[in-house]
Structure 1
Amino acid sequence: MDMLLLVGLAVGLSLAMTAAWTVQRWTGRSGWIDTIWSFAVGIGGMTGALLADGDFGRRMAVFLVIAAWSLRLGSHIGARTRSHDEDPRYAKLAEEWGDRAALRLFLFLQIQALAAFILVVAVYLAATNNAPFPGPLDFAGLGIAAIALYGETISDRQLAQFRKTPEAKTEVCETGLWRYSRHPNYFFEWLFWCGWLPIAVTGTAWSWIAVLAPMMMYWLLVHVSGIPPLEEHMLRSRGEKFRALQHRVNAFFPGPRKSDHHDLEEIRN
């Protein structure tokens, strides 16, 4: 591992999130934080892929995949930020932090920089794999990443289309992939980071650090900054309609709708 390169990437991510803090303070819109974070992870991953000491074909594949992820997610969040009000998750944090909101947000974004670094390290480790490319594990990892990118794109598009309808003001989204998971976009985001593990793991102790990326992303999305604050907001704004959705649709992993399953059982009986 090139420790000097990794230190440089860590510093760059910290500076990027400092810039994100500045933009948020200037514009009053926290959505730019996640936009800048997405582009920062992408740039960090692309830099690591270009400068890694690994098979050239694999490095280029890694470069293209992380670039596609970053461009899609960053552009999507940026477009959403321009057309929507303040992100309810950040608004809730600011309310809880009170007079110390500015300082607490700065420290919070430095923690996000650390999380970004863990993801970038997984990409870097995938690029340092010197095994002949492409191998079976490369096909597996790249296939998982491609499915995840497609699934997340479709999920975001379906939600965006729903938000344009009059029903979006009072109803909850249950169209397309949203019929089988309350947060399919989060599921596919987590799945994307699972794709780096088969590519990165070579049997060396260092390569297994890549497992931290999907583990951390699952923890953040399911237990910390993803589902919990968003569902709290949805319960406040949609009440019993969202509570009913919680009973019939899985929170994270896509699966059969509980109401549909019960209806099928009734038909069989």
Structure 2
Amino acid sequence: METLRHFAPMLLNGFIGAFLFFTLLWIVQVVRKDAGVVDIGWTAGVGAMAVYAAFAGEGWLPRRILLGAMGGIWSLRLVLYILKDRILCEKEDSRYQRLRTHWGKNANPWFFVFFTSQSLLVVLFALPFLPGANRPQPFVTAFDVLALATWLLSMGGEWLADFQLARFRGNPSNAGKVCREGLWNRSRHPNYFFEWLHWFAYLFLAIGASGFWLTLVGPAAMYLFLMKLTGIPHVEREALAKRGDAYRAYQESVPVLIPWPKRHKAV
């Protein structure tokens, strides 16, 4: 708890900044009638907190620069992907359509609550950046190298998964089919796997730092959100509705998250 008290002013500033940003995005949502912009807010807010932690931290400057660059580049790539793949190219995500229908004429007030409450998630996912930004060792360690290697692997893997899926979707002959190209033949959600793996980079970067336990929030919370809440359950529900038995066969033969050799039915 002493560690959290030490970081409290930074987290409070982050919450206030995120609240104002989500309020602005809510106004955009009112105008565009597309609540999907909330996903941009979360991603951009967490990336901004990584840069803020690097700037305000008291650890070794080169390590802080590395942390800020990793968090900032991760955020920028994902924001651009969300803009291109969801906001500019598609109608409102079905998750938010259902909420809009459920709330009816009170949708905008409820969306305001929904948007601004995301500020708490920005603060939650900012916690893993803090120990590494304040780690004092003034030299490069094996864990720093491991952190960078993990980040490079996860960024490269997520980009490759997104590229393979976009290429598959861009082929008209694949309409209605299930993507099994490349990484998608080893995991049903390789993009989510590498997103989850990415959070271990900040864990490695903080080994030996005070408050190291805060870095565990990253992979633990991301796994929970992907596996149980807003990630995989929604995507698989939509895939089953659109592709039916073809996707059920995919579920039976390909692991859900971690890439493993395909399963085979017993004869």
TM-score normalized with structure 2 length? 0.91
Summarize deviations over 1:178-218 as a string: whole Å, max 9, x none.
Answer: 111111111111111121112124253x2311211111111
1:39/1:74 contact within 8 Å kept: yes
Measured at CA, do residues 168 and 37 of structure 1 come closer, stay the same or move farther in structure 2, by a change above 3 Å?
farther
Q: Which residue of 2 aligns with 1:78?
A: 83
* Alignment-derived partner of residue 23 in structure 1: 28
Distance across 2 between alignment mates of 1:203 and 1:54: 9
Residues 89 and 230, structure 1, Cα contact 8 Å, conserved in 2: no
Structure 1 residue 131, shift from structure 2 partner = 1.4
Match of 2:239? 234
Identity among equivalent pairs (%): 33
Deviation at 1:97, TM superposition (A): 3.8
Tell me, yes or no, if structure 1 residue 49 matches structure 2 residue 54: yes
Please state if 1:6 is matched with 2:11: yes
| Aligned-partner residue type, residue 224 of structure 1 | L
Structure 1 residue 107 corresponds to structure 2 residue 139: no
Unmatched 5+ stretches in structure 2: 1-5
1:63-212 map, 5 Å: 63-80=68-85, 81-202=87-208, 204=210, 206-212=211-217
Q: Which residue of 1 aligns with 2:3?
A: none
Aligned residues: 261
Residues 69 and 231 of structure 1: is their aligned pair in 2 closer, same or farther, counting only changes over 3 Å? Answer: same
Per-residue displacement from partner, 1:145-165 (whole Å, max 9, x unpaired)? 111111111111111111111
Structure 1 moving runs of 4+ over 4 Å: none
Change in 2 beyond 3 A, CA 1:95/1:172? farther
SS state of the match for residue 199, structure 2?
A: helix
Pairwise CA distance, 1:66? 1.0
Contact persistence 1:178–1:184 (CA under 8 A): yes
CA 1:96 to 1:241, structure 2 compared with 1: closer, same or farther past 3 Å?
Answer: farther
Q: Normalising by structure 1, what TM-score?
A: 0.90
* Separation in structure 2 between the aligned mates of residue 101 and residue 133 of structure 1, nearest angstrom: 53
Distance between the aligned counterparts of 1:152 and 1:111, measured in 2?
A: 27
Shift of 1:251: 1.1
Q: Are the counterparts in 1 of residues 22 and 116 from structure 2 also a CA contact under 8 Å?
A: yes
Amino acid at match of 2:108: A
Report the Cα distance in structure 1 between the residues aligned to 2:174 and 2:33, rounded to whole angstroms: 25
Contact 1:172–1:242 (Cα < 8 Å) also in 2: yes
State the one-letter code of the partner of 2:184.
Answer: W
Q: Which moved more, 1:214-223 or 1:102-111?
A: 102-111
Superposed displacement of residue 247, structure 1: 0.8
1:248 aligns with 2:253: yes
Q: CA separation in 2, counterparts of 1:168 and 1:112?
A: 36
RMSD between aligned residues: 1.9
Structure-2 change in CA distance of 1:97 and 1:200 (3 Å)? farther
2:74–2:155 CA contact under 8 A, matched in 1: yes
C-alpha separation in 1, matches of 2:101 and 2:164? 31
Q: Which has the higher helix share?
A: 1
Q: Is 2:220 the counterpart of 1:215?
A: yes
